[in-house]
Structure 1
Amino acid sequence: MNTLLRRHDVVIMGGGLAGLTLALQLKRRFDDIDVVVLERRTHPVPHATHKVGESSVEIGAHYFDTVLGLKPHMHGAQLRKFGFRFFFSEGRRDIDQVTEIGASRYLSVPSYQIDRGIFENYLAEEAARHGVNFIDSALVGQIELATDARELHRLRWSQDGVTHVIESRWLIDACGRAGMLKRKLGLAQPNAHDCNAVWFRIGDRITIDDWSDDPAWRARCNPQARWLSTNHLVGAGYWVWLIPLASGSHSIGIVADPRLHPLDTIDTFDKAMQWFQTYQPRLYDELDGKRHLLQDFAFFRNFSYGCKQVFSGRRWALTGEAGLFLDPFYSPGSDFIAMSNTYITDLVAHDRAGHALEARAQLYDQIYHSFYESTLALYTDQYPLFGDPVVLPVKVLWDYTYYWGVLSQIFFHRRLTDLALLGSVRDELQHCQRLNFAVQDFLRAWSGVSDKRNAAVMHDQAALPWFAELNRSLNDDLDDDAFKARVRASTAQLGALAREILERATGDHPDLEGTALRALLAEEPAAPCAAGAAAEDMLFAAV
């Protein structure tokens, strides 16, 4: 049975995190826009729903609480995240006697631990309140894309045995790894990052603060709430995540390079528990008595992938995991949703204003892929050094300086779609990208000769004034000239940090060359960081 043909401005295939936030962003921008969201699952979904993407970082968090105006929900129904935290605890139960990376206090800009079930139910309700036509239990079938600017896209979808045919000016694929448009258009693209992941949820809190009775260790953090961090238990070739959820469950995952930890050694809960017993015995102790509280278990093989194109001047786009996916180590998933949705919303705005789209869509696609390539470099071939207590703390510091100093500045200060302004700092942005690639290569080489000493010390990021100030600076309100000055200051700051990393590593290991990094640093003068600290003071004293 078919129903009458209906026409809409935007049809979004997929009512998960990416699709629902895009629908809200479109309605906040255009009150009169006609948006339909087709979601396969029946709503409401269970709390602690089985999805990766529970930990957010600053761009995604800012997108949720400020761009979409969801701050009351984020503060009231989700958990404020106590930053990232890392423990070099392989084979150890004495967590207070290993190297720890993390902040001793909250920094200025918030991020959140997100219970995806609670959040997506709320987003569906919020979208409906704003006039979005949200349809659950909807199965999308045939898709016919428009071939020119005058035509509309057409698709068939069914619900309860009834087939519907609808047309839309814009068609957005937000249906996750199913990637309907990606498959239809042959856009799938592998990348060089080969990793696997398994994860599950336990219906109880894992309070890592209780893993030691040492008063000094417990007092390192104020508040004493390490359990609210995204805790990483790290070793060579892998990391384990511990993420608390507002529903009271805890998410646990193992992400591993198959060259060091093959998937078939961890791809069931029993195998994962055996693996914990060897590699993370303190977590095994915590979970062994809670086996009956297991809520789910899943795995992804080779989870990271690219996409040849995500935005088209022919009025289609991909967002979220329907497009590309990086790695959960620094939780960039919601960041890339925030950026892709912002680009899509701006393209819709230009279309509604009657402007040509092809050139702008192509530029947005190039910029978005540039962000993807820069971020992918943080992970590709880097997993072997994750067990290095000397090098990984420096890498985390570099990676966050690059993230807060470049990409976050562009998003927080609302310059993501300002092509003229981004063009005026293109040289600086390209230099930062080349510097990041060179530093990542150098970190790998350094770890190859590092003594990997695992000292009982906490590298406190909050104790670095310049680092805390870089985080705080995201809250500034910058005009165009101030934004350009900020990008130049970030470029100088990254150069100063890269120079110290090079000097520190080669001072301990004179045979380290770092040829590519030296060549890039030779292009710029030595400079202090933006907060005024001398370059030699930028790294952790204990490093």
Structure 2
Amino acid sequence: MDPSSPAHDVAIMGGGLAGLTLALQLRQRFPGIDVVVLERRAHPVPHAAHKVGESSVEIGAHYFDTVLGLKPHLHGAQLRKFGFRFFFSEGRRDIDQVTEIGASRYLSVPSYQIDRGIFENFLAEEAARQGVRFIDGATVRRIDLADDASAPHRLEWSDGERTQALHTRWLVDACGRAGMLKRKLGLQQPNAHECNAVWFRIGERIAIDDWSDDPGWRARCEPGSRWLSTNHLVGAGYWVWLIPLASGSHSVGIVADPRLHPLERMDSFERAMQWLETWQPRLHDALADKRHLLQDFAFMRNFSYGCKQVFSGRRWALTGEAGLFLDPFYSPGSDFIAVGNTYICDLVAHDRAGHALEARARLYDQIYHSFYESTLALYTDQYPLFGDPEVLPPKVIWDYTYYWGVLAQIFFQQRLTDLPVLGRVRDELQHCQQLNLAVQAFFRAWSAVSHRRNPAVMLDHAALPWFAELNRSLNDRLDDDAFVRRMRQSVDRLTALAAELLGRATRDHPGLDGAALAALLARAPAAAEGTQTETLLFAPA
């Protein structure tokens, strides 16, 4: 090793959301650890029109506010999110006359709308304050991975004037879609989910609460608060997001299946506006006189992808979009950062303790990819049913129940790296995964025969007591046995919900083939004593 080159415990390529949060997590867990972050962009970065990915959900929010201790910043400088909200408003201006999905009040566990510019500037300052060496304007030029288990990795990087080298025991790629380490090692992997996205920011609030003067519509939920939701305007093959930012801007995106809505029809701001005029005219009206407030415009083709491996016993890892990416629907990006960074920290801990890494890294990689495959099933070939007011509402209930009841429980209860306890619920986790695949296929079949009725009602998630309680239960603190019981209760709840979905759909559509789902339900484990049997879905509108 060149004695003139600095040596670090961990070098992170990329100082965005994934890299900076990992740096903070490492410093908090190992106060003396030497961490360097190399970030290509110069800091501070601009507010609002910086990066897409502003909406967080419960796992990512808990990671930011509780695991990393950033609650004062999130409460003081960002916006608390009023959950997800959906409107079946395709081709409509009368938003008060369509089906709305959402909660009438805040549920127990918070999530946030995050201005990425404000947040990443704060994270860089906080990382430096906690002892991380943060170098902006740094471009990595060369990566030399160590040939054996004890030698350090070597990086060459440039600040624009001169090239420097460093050595590091751990190397983490958090440089986003550039995926430098992934490309070097040939880890790129496509998946079966093909979708495109366009997005832009407008330098003014989009006041969705003012889209109707109907006092009844306005009174359905906390007055004047709909704008704080991640609002989805949905139709067959696409959805449009509306996300408010603390800087005063509003983020707008169109995500679409190219088989139904080709990217070429929306890949500029004016083409996107023409598209909105046809498919979401009320939003077009709200934006028509705001062209001068446009802050940016970008698009991405085929944004979803996998990765063959993200953790290695050879002391390298990938996190965030440098590894894999699913879909912005349900905002899982920060969740997978939280999960991936937690696994990386635990691998570093085992390395620092002198333990062998290969078997543990391989197992963490398998678990991480299992979470990825389960979540990918929520999206693959599902976009055509997004415009279905009969099928999307139960799908949202199912997807939330799967998320809050399984993956979120594992994260909130700090069980991601607890291999003995995860081993105790392995069969339950596998059954939940199989059930989810079968239910997602059933949703597609159901939507193919759906009547697609779109009444002027609000399907209020807060009005389902069991659903609100499932959200609240994330805050419980469980010992090992209680956690195992909780996971078995999740199996029971998902089984009951799947049976209710099957029964409702086949009663409405006697010719609907539910044989595959029915066969899986017949093999479900016996329900635990005291399992709830009440109706889990909304009454038919």
Give the TM interval when normalised to the shorter protein.
Answer: over 0.9
Whole-angstrom CA distance in 1 between matches of 2:298 and 2:254: 11
CA contact (8 A) 1:466 1:529 kept: no
Whole-angstrom CA distance in 1 between matches of 2:139 and 2:179: 14
Name the structure 2 match of 1:172: 172
Whole-angstrom CA distance in 2 between matches of 1:444 and 1:231: 23
User: What does the per-residue CA deviation read over 1:307-336, in whole Å, with 9 as the maximum and x for residues that have no partner?
Assistant: 000000000000000000000010000000
Name the structure 1 match of 2:279: 279
Q: How does 1:28-427 map to 2 (within 5 A)?
A: 28-427=28-427
Q: Which amino acid aligns with 2:379?
A: Y
CA contact (8 A) 1:12 1:37 kept: yes
Whole-angstrom CA distance in 1 between matches of 2:44 and 2:356: 40
User: Structure 2 stretches of 5 or more lacking a match?
Assistant: none
CA contact (8 A) 2:242 2:253 kept: yes
Whole-angstrom CA distance in 1 between matches of 2:207 and 2:308: 42
Whole-angstrom CA distance in 2 between matches of 1:529 and 1:392: 31
- TM-score where L is the length of structure 1: 0.98
Name the structure 2 match of 1:468: 468
CA contact (8 A) 2:104 2:460 kept: yes
Cα distance, 1:541 vs. partner? 1.3
Cα distance, 1:477 vs. partner? 0.4
CA contact (8 A) 1:141 1:157 kept: yes
Whole-angstrom CA distance in 1 between matches of 2:288 and 2:224: 25
RMSD: 1.3
CA distance 1:455–1:57, change in 2 (3 Å): same
User: What does the per-residue CA deviation read over 1:432-472, in whole Å, with 9 as the maximum and x for residues that have no partner?
Assistant: 00000000000000000000000101000000000000000
CA contact (8 A) 1:171 1:315 kept: yes
Q: Which amino acid aligns with 1:319?
A: T
Whole-angstrom CA distance in 2 between matches of 1:49 and 1:39: 18
Cα distance, 1:343 vs. partner? 0.1
Cα distance, 1:533 vs. partner? 4.7
Whole-angstrom CA distance in 1 between matches of 2:32 and 2:263: 49
- Give the ranges of 4+ consecutive aligned residues of structure 1 lying more than 2 Å apart after TM superposition: 524-530, 532-535
Name the structure 2 match of 1:449: 449
Name the structure 2 match of 1:539: 537
Whole-angstrom CA distance in 1 between matches of 2:41 and 2:343: 27
Whole-angstrom CA distance in 1 between matches of 2:514 and 2:356: 46
| Overall identity of the aligned pairs, in % | 79
Number of equivalent positions:
540
User: Structure 1 stretches of 5 or more lacking a match?
Assistant: none
Whole-angstrom CA distance in 2 between matches of 1:302 and 1:369: 20
User: What does the per-residue CA deviation read over 1:508-532, in whole Å, with 9 as the maximum and x for residues that have no partner?
Assistant: 01111222211111013675998x6
- TM-score where L is the length of structure 2: 0.98
Q: Which amino acid aligns with 1:342?
A: T
CA contact (8 A) 2:37 2:134 kept: yes
Whole-angstrom CA distance in 1 between matches of 2:266 and 2:257: 12
Cα distance, 1:207 vs. partner? 1.1
Whole-angstrom CA distance in 1 between matches of 2:285 and 2:3: 57
CA contact (8 A) 1:108 1:472 kept: yes
Whole-angstrom CA distance in 2 between matches of 1:24 and 1:9: 14
CA contact (8 A) 1:203 1:249 kept: yes
Cα distance, 1:223 vs. partner? 4.2
Q: Which amino acid aligns with 1:238?
A: Y
Matched residue of 2:199: which SS?
strand
Whole-angstrom CA distance in 1 between matches of 2:527 and 2:421: 24
Name the structure 1 match of 2:12: 12
User: What does the per-residue CA deviation read over 1:409-434, in whole Å, with 9 as the maximum and x for residues that have no partner?
Assistant: 00000000001110110000000000
CA contact (8 A) 2:56 2:332 kept: yes
Whole-angstrom CA distance in 1 between matches of 2:334 and 2:540: 33
Name the structure 1 match of 2:523: 523
Matched residue of 1:54: which SS?
coil
Cα distance, 1:150 vs. partner? 1.6
Whole-angstrom CA distance in 2 between matches of 1:509 and 1:202: 44
User: What does the per-residue CA deviation read over 1:101-127, in whole Å, with 9 as the maximum and x for residues that have no partner?
Assistant: 000000000000000000000000000
Name the structure 2 match of 1:22: 22
Matched residue of 2:240: which SS?
strand
Q: Which amino acid aligns with 2:397?
A: L
Matched residue of 2:170: which SS?
strand
Matched residue of 2:456: which SS?
coil
Matched residue of 2:50: which SS?
coil
* Structure 1 range deviating more: 42-51 or 211-220: 42-51
Matched residue of 1:43: which SS?
coil
* Structure 1 range deviating more: 6-15 or 153-162: 153-162
Cα distance, 1:217 vs. partner? 0.3
Whole-angstrom CA distance in 2 between matches of 1:150 and 1:355: 12
Matched residue of 1:41: which SS?
coil
Whole-angstrom CA distance in 1 between matches of 2:277 and 2:224: 27
